[in-house]
Structure 1
Amino acid sequence: MDPHPSSCDEGHKNLEAMKAGMFLRKVKSRLWKRQRHYKLQDDCKTIAYKSKWAINSYSTFSIGDVEAVREGHQSETLLSMADEFPAERCFTLVFCGRKGNLDLVAESAEDAIAWIQGIRALMENMENMDENTKNDQWISDWFFKADINKDGRMNFKETKTLLKMMNIDMNEEHASNLFKKADKSQSETLEHEEFVEFYKTLTERKEVLELLQEYSSDGQCLSQCDLEEFLREEQLEGESSYEHALQLIDQYEPSDTAKMNHLMSIDGFLMYTTSPEGSIFNPEHRGLFQDMNLPLSHYYISSSHNTYLMEDQLKGPSSVEAYIQAIKRGCRCVEVDCWNGSNGEPVVYHGHTFTSKILFKDVLATIAKFAFKVSEYPLIISIENHCSIEQQEVMARYFRDILGDMLLTTTEKDRTASELPSPEALRMKILLKGKKIEFESLTGEVSDEDEAAEMDKDNAETESPPTDEKNSKQDLCKELSDLVFCKSVHFHGFDHSYNSSKPYEMSSFSESKVRKYSKEAGRDFVLHNTRQLSRVYPSGMRTDSSNYCPQDMWNIGCQIVALNFQTAGMEMDLNDGLFSQNSHCGYFLKPEILRNRERCFDPDNPHSRDDYHPLQLSIKIISGQQLPKVNKKEWSIVDPFVKVEIYGVPSDQAKQETEYIENNGYRHVHLLSKDGTSICPSSLFVHIKITELQISGV
């Protein structure tokens, strides 16, 4: 046997081993570790698994749902069991979305390598598929789901089940007609190719055909010149549309004959319009297109609140995985709540609650490893420090030892600078935000002005009990203080910020305080944020880790608008929408009106400006398809409608809804417009035509 087999041979061996199946130990804790039999299905896209004692009851997950494979002890669970299971036998599957990770232990290092390399190869293969292949596979998936008896054919009963699975409620007569039309062999069943015909008939879009015919010379397909005109008129492309038209035909047209003649059929056009290429998202904004040499205060910064939490802030688990997920989503400001732990080791958790605790050093090691995987621009660590002097010294040592050269500290030059450095100047640097003492001593007493203290004050104001006006104090060791770049300070008013504050000083505000200041002194708040960083955090009353609308805070130029990344919803959709631009680097340049100190702007009263010119945004909804079920029950069918919303200054807030379509979840999709730019989730397809793209107000 060749001692150095080729990678191809090795890959084949891995897949064969996975198809044969093997027992892997699924572990959740020291007390929960059970064997499961895992095997790769023949489609090379699905993993089936069952318990050791089960006979035929396999469950499955898709390779397409796996986001990453981590080798060794790269999860808290496996790290905590390092003495029991060696790293070379361990690996973790990280899933997309909110599904939990899967920690596995193989019987041998060779078995672990087979699965690690095999799954990675399959993931790469799926990523490299062209659009035609992806579409063919998608259709095949539906065929095999609907083929209940697995005979390679689909009868009419199975077809009706398929329609329910696809979120379509058709009357039986219409469904039967489509079925008979596709049944070329007249066998009263559909084979795979016949099913493709059935699918195309089912998904025919007259609205899209009409759009194609607007530009088609012969009413049937688009020539290269026709497509070129479409790209210029509808997609607003410039002179480069000639080469782009050829590229699109080559990429999306399923017919080889049409490709040879530089034509795009309705099938190719539908495939193009439902691809990322057809997205309303400006392709020029996907990459890094903004000036990154301005002061930090001129940028919105993607920011997380209670980053260590996976769920709610009363009893949910704390995990380093939460930091990984936030940073992978482009987060550039993470929060670390530090408390005294046993054996002299600081811990991170939500103080005075039942949330679980994780070691501070593990949090730092995770941040150091993942800090610059997605973005090379600076990462800010917001420290909420509740530790004793002794454990603060431990924290300082870990900051230096674990972060090393990545850690940026304040110099005398920074102290006297008139503005903050730029994201470009701080590439690959980690900045600490926290309390700081300003004089030479081993320890210093500082006001306890952290977020928890501010939350207590906010809650006290809400409940109207008597409060002690004297601030509590905390000892801070100089060793930790010297590492802090952004100094946390109590906000003493806008007059103080104009006359006495330094650019590196930074205040935190609860959401209610921001709204109060915005109403009372919007112009002053905007002016404050042109020079200094402001951090906003959710109310302490949000014990379920819900979020506020970040747009209200962005309107006045607040940069670090911290959200609970673990909580899905409209608020995180807005955050993801804004920061999906500019290469997903976590920094987005604020509008010029919010950066210019010479031009006063009040977001609640934009029409008071001389240059106020309201405009209109007009959107035409054309068609939608492939809407997933909201209700998982097979017989349920949704009544969908299209909803378009604009988020901005209060006078720009607007939304429009179409009438809902009864029992036809396949044909229409819910569309959300984020801060003036409509972005479709990757799992949904929608066709829209903008007839007049304008932004009202500012």
Structure 2
Amino acid sequence: MSKDGFLVYLNHEEGSIFNPAHKPIYQDMHQPLNHYFISSSHNTYLMEDQLKGPSSTEAYIKALVKSCRCVELDCWDGANGEPVIYHGHTLTSKVLFKDVIKAIKEYAFKTSQYPVILSLENHCSIEQQKIMAHHLTSILGSVLLTQPLGHQMPNTFPGPESSKKIKLAKELSDLVIYCKSVHFSNFEHSRDYHAFYEMASFKESKAMNLGPKLKRKEKKATPFIHHNMDNLSRIYPAGSRTDSSNYNPVPLWNAGCQIVALNFQTPGKEMDLNQARFLPNGKCGYILKPEFQRDPASQFDPKNLRVGPWLKKKTLHVMIISAQQLPKINKDKQKSIVDPQVRVEIYGVPDDNASKQTHHIDNNGFNPVWNTKFQFTIHVPELALVRFVVEDYDAASSNDLVGLYTLPFTSMQNGELVKISEKLLCSYYEFAHHKSCLLSSGYRHITEQDNQLKCPLQTLLG
């Protein structure tokens, strides 16, 4: 095998850190809708900040192409009888409601075949609500769900496979079938009075406070987790995030919240985690929640782990070996060659959260070699995400990002014993100046995924 052939072998899908069996849709897609995490966007129309940034149909297109399955439309009275979408009482620009619906019609199912939830924040007069209803029905046509599946309201959601009160126009109200917005008082009130198809929305701070407390002795799942077994919960960023920053979605997923809405226009760790959560299962925007977040008899509490089916304790062994041809990050610096270091982060239940990093290597972006071993204990693997971050070390200021890759722990391929001939070992040694990686317990290659990692990174997993 030639050096080029060996590189092709290393970069093949079978050698990827991401399990190719999780690339297509592989989960049961016939469970009730509330049994899934749903990729969701907040103020989807915004391209930048929440105060004066532009609104655009392009923002909806970008979100839908990324398999977002819940988009938000803030609807207000517009000129000439046409409703508009914008962040009310701010300087953000306006976009016609009908133009947004046209964009949704065209792009809703380009990446995923599964349902898109339109979250309408309605501030329109009765007259313009009727116009909204007309645009929804005339533009979306048969793709708009206008009556319960089976023609009768069942007692559970279908699966993905098939203060001042505002007066609501009947024409618009009749289009709301499965996700009727209601005010949340408390869990007991919701259990006794809310129908399954009624959905509450929570500001991030309130949702965090509804989560499990640090010291709980009850031998049952937290009330929020039980609520999310029967109802849909939508979480949205606090109004104080005027720069369109995002909160950490992981604690909300730990509580079983399905619609954890983020500002898709803002890159960063939070969106990395969101993309990773929805990376498997054909990138369809729906991920089946673990059974312990769906079973009414569950006693799961992410902050107070006890013996139960969620405890599938595993040890993750990672060896960061090397990287090749890392790009120059800041060409304005006198020294533009990177001093790379790699950090491995775990996100999940509190007991699993961890971070470890390699030493940095001076002036070598071409073929840095770390050979650094890490070990992590994962208590609840079904909720854990693993993030690899390559940075340009800087002693005087914050490090610059070189590249990253994030994926669910359960979608990682274990390392496999590599058996190759001595001739190939010598050939690889001459090429990469490192031989021991092929004699260790396993070898996986991390390459670019959705522009997250712009360089190859070698690692061992076990």
The aligned runs of 1:354-369 (5 Å cut-off) are 354-369=91-106
Matching residue within 559, 570, 576 for 2:269 = 570
Q: Structure 1: how far apart are the matches of 2:151 and 2:41?
A: 26
Matched positions, count: 383
| Letter matched to residue 557 of structure 1 | G
Give the conservation status (yes or no) of the 8 Å contact 1:640–1:662: yes
User: RMSD of the alignment, in Å?
Assistant: 2.0
The correspondence of residues 585-664 of structure 1 with structure 2, limited to 5 A, is 585-607=284-306, 609=308, 612=311, 614-633=313-332, 635-664=335-364
Tell me if the contact between 2:39 and 2:69 (Cα under 8 Å) persists in the aligned partners: yes
Tell me by how many angstroms 1:416 deviates: 4.7
Larger CA deviation: 541-550 vs 515-524: 515-524
Match for residue 225 of structure 1?
A: none
Would you say 1:665 and 2:357 are equivalent positions?
no
Q: Distance in 2 between matches of 1:579 and 1:611?
A: 20
SS in 2 for 1:552: helix
The aligned residue for residue 442 of structure 2 is none
Distance 1:673 1:390, change over 3 A: closer
The answer as to whether partners of 1:487 and 1:505 remain within 8 angstroms in 2 is yes
1:487 aligns with 2:254: no
Q: Structure 1, residues 249-273: CA drift from partner, whole Å, max 9, x if none? A: xxxxxxxxxxxxxxx3333223332
| Counterpart position of 2:17 | 280
Higher mean displacement: 282-291 or 471-480: 471-480
Q: Secondary structure at the match of 2:21?
A: helix
Check conservation: 2:146, 2:175, Cα contact below 8 A.
yes
Aligned twin of 1:498: 191
- 1:567 CA drift (Å): 0.4
SS of the residue corresponding to residue 341 of structure 2 reads coil
In 2, the alpha carbon distance for the partners of 1:672 and 1:282 equals 14
How has the CA–CA distance of structure 1 residues 533 and 606 changed in structure 2, closer, same or farther, with 3 Å as cutoff?
A: same
Match for residue 509 of structure 1? 202
Deviation at 1:474, TM superposition (A): 1.2
In 2: Cα distance, 1:545 partner to 1:340 partner? 24
Which consecutive residues of structure 2, in runs of 5 or more, have no partner in the other structure? 369-388, 391-403, 413-445
Matches for 1:579-590 after TM superposition, within 5 Å: 579-590=278-289
1:393-451 CA-to-partner distances (Å, cap 9, x unmatched) read 110111110111111124497775221000012xxxxxxxxxxxxxxxxxxxxxxxxxx
Contact 2:83 2:124 in 1 (8 A): yes
Residue 81 of structure 2 corresponds to 344
Unaligned runs of 5+ in 1: 1-263, 426-470, 693-698
Q: Deviation per CA, 1:216-261, whole angstroms, max 9, x where unpaired?
A: xxxxxxxxxxxxxxxxxxxxxxxxxxxxxxxxxxxxxxxxxxxxxx
2:72 aligned counterpart, secondary structure? strand
User: What is the SS of the residue equivalent to 1:617?
Assistant: strand
SS of 1:368's equivalent in the other structure is helix
Counterpart residue identity of residue 110, structure 2: K
Aligned ranges for residues 532-543 of structure 1 at < 5 Å? 532-543=231-242
After TM superposition, list the pairs within 5 Å mapping 1:448-463 onto structure 2: none
Aligned runs of 1:120-199 on 2, under 5 Å? none
Describe the superposition over 1:256-296 as per-residue Cα deviations: whole angstroms up to 9, x where unpaired.
xxxxxxxx333322333245543200000000101101000
Cα distance per residue 1:83-142 (max 9 Å; x no partner): xxxxxxxxxxxxxxxxxxxxxxxxxxxxxxxxxxxxxxxxxxxxxxxxxxxxxxxxxxxx
Measured in 1, the distance between the counterparts of 2:85 and 2:307 equals 48
Alignment correspondent of 2:243: 544
Rg (Cα) greater in structure: 1
Pairwise CA distance, 1:501 = 1.7
Aligned to 2:426: none
State the shift of 1:500 in Å.
Answer: 2.3
In the alignment, the residues of structure 1 paired with residue 360 and residue 343 of structure 2 have an alpha-carbon distance, to the nearest angstrom, of: 10
Task: Give the aligned partner of residue 315 of structure 1.
Answer: 52
- Cα 1:531–1:484 change in 2 (3 A) is same
Residue among 554, 557, 560 paired with 2:256:
557
Give 2:419's aligned residue: none
Cα–Cα, structure 1 residues 618 and 266, in superposed 2: closer, same or farther, change >3 Å?
same
Q: How far apart are residue 342 of structure 1 and its match?
A: 0.5
CA distance in 2 between partners of 1:350 and 1:327 (Å): 20
Cα–Cα, structure 1 residues 414 and 665, in superposed 2: closer, same or farther, change >3 Å?
Answer: farther
**2:405–2:448 Cα contact (<8 Å) kept:** no
Higher relative contact order (CA 8 A, sep 6+): 2
| Aligned mates of 1:653, 1:611 — CA distance in 2 | 16
SS at match of 1:604: coil
Distance in 1 of aligned mates of 2:42 and 2:455:
29
- C-alpha distance in 2 between matches for 1:556 and 1:475: 33
| Whole-Å separation in 1 of the counterparts to 2:341 and 2:230 | 44
- Asked if 1:685 corresponds to 2:384, the answer is no
Q: Note the C-alpha offset of 1:513.
A: 0.9
Task: Give, in whole Å, the separation in 1 of the partners of 2:350 and 2:92.
Answer: 37
Q: TM-score, normalised by structure 2?
A: 0.79
* Corresponding residue for residue 523 of structure 1: 222
**Could you say which residue in structure 2 is the equivalent of 1:474?**
166
* Aligned equivalent of 2:144: 407
The match for 1:298 is 35
TM-score (structure 1 length as normaliser):
0.53
Partner Cα distance (1:659, 1:412) in 2: 57
CA distance in 2 between partners of 1:356 and 1:606 (Å): 47
| Deviation by residue 1:568-609 (Cα, 9 ceiling, x = unmatched) | 111111111121211111111111111111112111112364
Percent identity over the alignment is: 55
What amino acid sits opposite 1:606 in the alignment? Answer: L
> How many Å separate the matches in 1 of 2:149 and 2:102?
29
Structure 1 residue 633: Cα displacement = 2.7
Give how far 1:610 is off. Answer: 8.2
CA displacement at 1:497 relative to structure 2? 2.3
Summarize the alignment of residues 66-465 of structure 1 with structure 2, pairs less than 5 Å apart.
264-411=1-148, 416-425=153-162
Q: Structure 1 320/267 Cα, relative in aligned 2: closer, same or farther at 3 Å?
A: same
- SS of the residue corresponding to residue 616 of structure 1 reads strand
CA drift of 1:643 comes to: 0.7
- SS in structure 1 of the partner of residue 231 of structure 2: coil
Cα offset, 1:325, TM superposition: 0.6
Q: How far 1:689 sits from its partner (Å)?
A: 1.3
1:284-343 superposed Cα distances (whole Å, 9 cap, x missing partner): 000010110100011111111110011111111000011111000111110001001001
Give the letter aligned to residue 533 of structure 1.
Answer: L
Counterpart CA distance in 2 for 1:498 and 1:413 is 25
Does the Cα contact within 8 Å between 1:647 and 1:674 map onto a contact in 2? no
CA gap 1:681/1:541 in 2 versus in 1, 3 angstroms: farther
Distance 2:110 2:405 in 1: 29
Contact 2:447 2:457 in 1 (8 A): yes
- Which ranges of 4 or more aligned residues in structure 1 deviate by more than 4 Å? 412-416, 608-611, 677-680
The corresponding residue for 1:8 is: none
Deviation at 1:652, TM superposition (A): 0.7
**Conserved? CA contact 1:274–1:686, under 8 Å:** no
Whole-angstrom CA distance in 1 between matches of 2:308 and 2:280: 29
Aligned amino acid, residue 170 of structure 2: K
CA gap 1:594/1:611 in 2 versus in 1, 3 angstroms: closer
